[in-house]
């Protein structure tokens, strides 16, 4: 099975996010980046499928957000081809625009299966996977937690979890796009020596991709930190002091008299 | 018929034998002193002697997949007691762990996160590199960031990850900044550019990660002009003293206990305020057992008026490890699952048995390990855990103050 995996870099939340001077977007220059968690699972799922049944894994990513280290790590883990799509802007495209570009890059690959994380935490106006499926005119199933070879050739079995502890087993005809929530096992650790080896030996394919990008109908008016509507009060001091503080608050709220 | 993996075990032992790191493991006579000395040997499927035996017998695969592989806490007891001088701690364990990682066997999950933090952020806590100097915010002494204002200094202080980020350790870090300043030393730090030294990563067998950290640190350190490279962390000291030179990087490194001990005469008139405490000192493994520096920390404590020093039954070279070295700091769940308890819990009971009210330490890991242990063993409030720096700073009237 030939599998294409879409990887996206997202802002790393260990850094406080900053809003750009325009007040309508993040300050991307101040952000640091990390691989989108569910995309990491999509890659793991692809590698597991390849190990179980053969085939190839091709990774695709936009040239954005310190992506090279992520791509070298993917190569070290076992991805066969790495495609880095050049960007002509230093801000991330909308999910629709990104999906259109990924779709154009995936079409020549004749991929049986496209795996992508079910969502990314910086997506603004929708999620990428269904747009990607639409652009590829392929079926889509999302919130998938495990994929295996299907009951017959040209299919895969996907497992989907619904709220309320209900699982569904799906048979998906290929080619298809699956939005992965979690792989069958956590993303593997790859020793840094292998990543360093991949840095020396891996060549990225960087095709120019022309895609017709739909105009977004959603505009951001303002981006801002949430305004706190309530607060917690920390009581300090000895036991008696804290107890007196609690009694005072309860009395003020009218809970006790 | 011997398989490739069978042969790999013998080849690994042969390679270690030729590495110049102690005597060849193939000289092991299976006396079992290592297993008996190891504080976790009782719980290991393969203590050191069995690691060697199995590797030689073609059972390397079994060894590499065993939970035992991730139970060594780098205390050096086995290495120092081995009658055949086999370098088990710095040689055998890291080599086997490396082999395991290269074979694609997944290390314990808690460790994977630490590795990833180090590779991505250069610190083991997964904190923002930009916040590395936050400990110095509003400090009442000047902290020179040499990455921004390069100039020659007496001391380049590699602050370390826990001392930079962990709130409890930051108290010690600030106190040390005041002591350095009080001693009239010109000193600086690398600020947000500083990276972990990487000792534990080498002990983990993550040689590629260690090499990456060595390269990144070299780029920074080689630009700086200093007389002494100073660290609060005995593990970092060990790495800079022994493993960095193996990568062509030599620096005049000192652990802070040695540095301050060399300035005892200067300290004497400054250590004036009595600190009424009965103190027992825990020897850390790297500066203590491995480098046999047992007296300087005790003599520093002896300077402080009011301090009465008492010894634990296990002290100096026979000290029991806190369980945090060699990567144990990030393997508590694994070690408790396979060994049944944390060594720091056992050690703090030994400290309490002396009747001391203070457990003095000289390693950044030990503050959190022993303070956690005090809670677990119901010793909280009875036995305070304090770094030697804190006790000195209190006596010098340089303790925590004026910090927002």
Query: Structure pTM?
Result: 0.90
Q: Which residues of B touch A (CB under 8 A)?
A: 98, 101-102, 104, 106-107, 109, 112, 115-116, 119-121, 126-128, 130, 206-209, 211-212
Domain identity same for B162 and B88: no
Last residue of a domain, one of B72, B102, B132: B102
The pLDDT assigned to B327 comes to 86
The residue of A184, A192, A195 whose CB has the most chain B CBs within 10 angstroms, and thus the best one to mutate to test that interface, is A192
Domain identity same for B278 and B389: yes
Query: Residue A78: closest CA among chain B residues belongs to which residue?
Result: B104
Query: Residue B125: closest CA among chain A residues belongs to which residue?
Result: A14
- In Å, how far are B37, B60, B196, B285 from B214, measured between CA atoms? 32, 29, 9, 22
Instruction: Report residues of chain B scoring pLDDT below 50.
Output: 1, 402-404
Q: What CATH number corresponds to the domain at position B296? A: 3.40.50
Report residue A140 as tokens.
């889509």
Domain annotation covers residue B33: yes
Q: Chain A closest CA to B307's CA: distance in Å?
A: 29
Domain identity same for B203 and B322: no
**pLDDT bucket at A231, cuts 50 / 70 / 90:** confident
Domain identity same for B240 and B354: no
Q: Is B403 helix (H, G, I), strand (E, B) or coil?
A: coil
Residue B324 and residue B348 in contact, taking contact as beta carbons nearer than 8 Å? no
Instruction: Note whether A191 contacts B101, CB cutoff 8 Å.
Output: yes
Residue A116 and residue A123 in contact, taking contact as beta carbons nearer than 8 Å? no
* DSSP codes of every residue in B202-260: HHTT-HHHHHHHHHHHHHHHTT--EEEEEES-HHHHHIIIIIHHHTT----EEEHHHHH
Q: Is A45 helix (H, G, I), strand (E, B) or coil?
A: helix
Domain identity same for B117 and B97: no
Domain identity same for B152 and B93: no
Domain annotation covers residue A243: no
**pLDDT bucket at A2, cuts 50 / 70 / 90:** very high
Distance (Å, whole) CA B121 – CA B192? 10
What is the total count of domains within chain B? 3
Q: Is A3 helix (H, G, I), strand (E, B) or coil?
A: strand
Q: Chain B closest CA to A87's CA: distance in Å?
A: 24
Distance (Å, whole) CA B147 – CA B219? 11
Instruction: Note whether A191 contacts B206, CB cutoff 8 Å.
Output: yes
Residue B106 with chain A: CB contacts under 8 Å: 188-189
Domain limits at B336? 264-395
Q: Chain B closest CA to A195's CA: distance in Å?
A: 8
Domain identity same for B118 and B257: yes
Domain annotation covers residue A249: no
Q: What is the bridge-based pairing of β-strands B358-361 and B153-158?
A: unpaired
Distance (Å, whole) CA A152 – CA A167? 21
Nearest to A175 by CA among A143, A136, A121: A136
Which residues face A168 on adjacent strands?
A160
Q: Does A29 touch chain B if contact means CB atoms closer than 8 Å?
A: no
**How much of chain A, in percent, has pLDDT values that exceed 70?**
100
Q: How many CB atoms lie within 10 A of CB B305?
A: 11
Ranges A39-48, A84-93, B393-402: which has the least confidence: B393-402
Q: First vs last Cα of chain A: how many Å apart?
A: 72
The pLDDT assigned to B402 comes to 42
Task: Please count the residue pairs, one from chain A and one from chain B, whose beta carbons lie less than 8 angstroms apart.
Answer: 41
- In Å, how far are A74, A78, B75 from A50, measured between CA atoms? 14, 9, 42
Instruction: Note whether B209 contacts A194, CB cutoff 8 Å.
Output: no
* DSSP codes of every residue in B361-401: E-SHHHHHHHHHHHHHTT-TTTSEEEEHHHHHHHHTT-SS-
Q: Is A126 helix (H, G, I), strand (E, B) or coil?
A: coil
Domain identity same for B117 and B45: no
Distance (Å, whole) CA B243 – CA B206? 13
Q: Using only C-alpha atoms, what is the Rg of chain B? A: 21
The alpha carbon of B325 is separated from its chain's Cα centroid by a whole number of angstroms, namely 5
Residue B116 with chain A: CB contacts under 8 Å: 189
Summary mean pLDDT of chain A: 94
Q: Chain A closest CA to B204's CA: distance in Å?
A: 11
Q: What CATH number corresponds to the domain at position A189? A: 3.40.50.620
Last residue of a domain, one of B81, B102, B123: B102
B285 Cβ neighbours under 8 A, 6+ residues apart: B74, B75, B76, B234, B319, B321, B325
What is the total count of domains within chain A? 1
Q: Using only C-alpha atoms, what is the Rg of chain A? A: 23
Last residue of a domain, one of B243, B261, B279: B261
Q: Chain B closest CA to A77's CA: distance in Å?
A: 10
Q: Chain B closest CA to A199's CA: distance in Å?
A: 12
Q: What CATH number corresponds to the domain at position B96? A: 1.10.1060
Distance (Å, whole) CA A33 – CA B174? 31
Domain limits at A24? 2-201
Domain annotation covers residue B338: yes
Domain identity same for B116 and B246: yes
Distance (Å, whole) CA B256 – CA B233? 8
The residue of B103, B104, B134, B206 whose CB has the most chain A CBs within 10 angstroms, and thus the best one to mutate to test that interface, is B104
Residue B165 with chain A: CB contacts under 8 Å: none
Residue A193 with chain B: CB contacts under 8 Å: 102, 207-208, 211
The pLDDT assigned to B404 comes to 36
Instruction: Note whether B128 contacts A193, CB cutoff 8 Å.
Output: no
Domain identity same for B142 and B239: yes
Q: Which residue has the tokens 């060994």?
A: B339
In the predicted model, is pLDDT for residue A106 greater than 50? yes
Q: Does A188 touch chain B if contact means CB atoms closer than 8 Å?
A: yes
Output DSSP code: residue A72. Answer: H
């Amino acid at each position: 099975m030939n599998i294409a995996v879409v990887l996206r870099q997202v802002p790393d939340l260990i850094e406080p996010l900053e809003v750009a001077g325009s007040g309508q977007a993040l300050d991307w220059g101040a952000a640091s980046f990390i691989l989108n968690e569910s995309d990491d699972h999509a890659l793991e799922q692809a590698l597991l499928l390849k190990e179980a049944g053969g085939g190839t894994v091709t990774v695709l990513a936009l040239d954005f957000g310190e992506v090279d280290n992520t791509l070298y790590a993917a190569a070290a883990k076992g991805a066969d081809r790495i495609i880095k799509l050049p960007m002509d802007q230093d801000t991330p495209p909308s999910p629709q625009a990104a999906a259109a570009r990924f779709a154009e890059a995936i079409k020549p690959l004749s991929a049986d299966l496209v795996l992508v994380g079910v969502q990314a935490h910086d997506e603004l106006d929708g999620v990428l996977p269904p747009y990607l499926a639409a652009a590829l005119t392929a079926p889509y199933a999302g919130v998938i937690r495990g994929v295996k070879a299907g009951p017959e050739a040209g299919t895969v079995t996907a497992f989907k979890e619904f709220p309320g502890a209900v699982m569904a087993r799906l048979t998906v005809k290929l080619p298809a796009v699956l939005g992965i929530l979690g792989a069958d096992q956590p993303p593997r650790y790859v020793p840094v020596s292998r990543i360093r080896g991949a840095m020396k030996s891996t060549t990225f394919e960087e095709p120019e991709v022309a895609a017709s990008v739909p105009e977004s109908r959603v505009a951001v008016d303002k981006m801002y930190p949430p305004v706190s509507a309530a607060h917690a009060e920390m009581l300090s001091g000895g036991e008696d002091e804290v107890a007196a503080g609690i009694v005072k608050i309860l009395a003020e709220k009218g809970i006790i008299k | 018929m011997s398989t490739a993996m069978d042969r790999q075990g013998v080849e690994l032992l042969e390679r270690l034998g030729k590495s110049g790191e102690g005597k060849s493991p193939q000289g092991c006579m299976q006396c079992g002193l290592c297993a008996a000395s190891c504080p976790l040997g009782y719980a290991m499927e393969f203590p050191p002697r069995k690691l060697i035996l199995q590797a030689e017998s073609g059972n390397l695969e079994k060894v590499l997949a065993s939970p035992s592989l991730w139970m060594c806490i780098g205390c050096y007891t086995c290495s120092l007691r081995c009658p055949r001088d086999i370098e088990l701690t710095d040689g055998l364990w890291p080599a086997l762990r490396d082999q395991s990682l290269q074979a694609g066997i997944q290390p314990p999950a808690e460790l994977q996160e630490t590795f990833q933090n180090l590779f991505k952020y250069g610190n083991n806590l997964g904190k923002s590199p930009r916040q590395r100097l936050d400990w110095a915010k509003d400090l009442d002494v000047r902290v020179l960031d040499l990455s921004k204002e390069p100039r020659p200094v007496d001391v380049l202080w590699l602050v370390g990850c826990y001392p930079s980020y962990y709130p409890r350790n930051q108290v010690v870090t600030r106190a040390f900044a005041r002591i350095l300043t009080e001693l009239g030393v010109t000193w600086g730090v690398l600020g947000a550019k500083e990276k972990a030294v990487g000792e534990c990563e080498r002990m983990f067998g993550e040689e590629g990660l260690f090499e990456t950290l060595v390269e990144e640190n070299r780029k920074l350190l080689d630009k700086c002009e200093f007389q002494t490279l100073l660290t609060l962390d005995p593990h970092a000291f060990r790495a800079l003293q022994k493993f960095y030179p193996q990568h062509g990087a030599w620096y005049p490194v000192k652990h802070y206990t040695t540095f301050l001990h060399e300035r005892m005469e200067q300290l004497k008139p400054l250590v004036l305020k009595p600190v009424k405490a009965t103190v027992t000192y825990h020897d850390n493994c790297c500066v203590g057992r491995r480098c046999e520096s047992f007296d300087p920390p005790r003599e520093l404590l002896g300077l402080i008026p009011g301090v009465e020093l008492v010894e634990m039954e296990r002290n100096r070279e026979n000290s029991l490890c806190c369980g945090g070295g060699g990567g144990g700091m990030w393997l508590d769940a694994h070690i408790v699952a396979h060994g049944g308890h944390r060594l720091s819990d056992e050690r703090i009971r030994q400290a309490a048995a002396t009747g001391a009210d203070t457990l003095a330490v000289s390693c950044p890991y030990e503050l959190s390990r022993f303070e956690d242990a005090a809670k677990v063993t119901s010793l909280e409030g009875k036995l305070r855990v304090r770094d030697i720096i804190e006790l000195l700073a209190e006596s010098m009237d340089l303790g925590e103050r004026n910090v927002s």
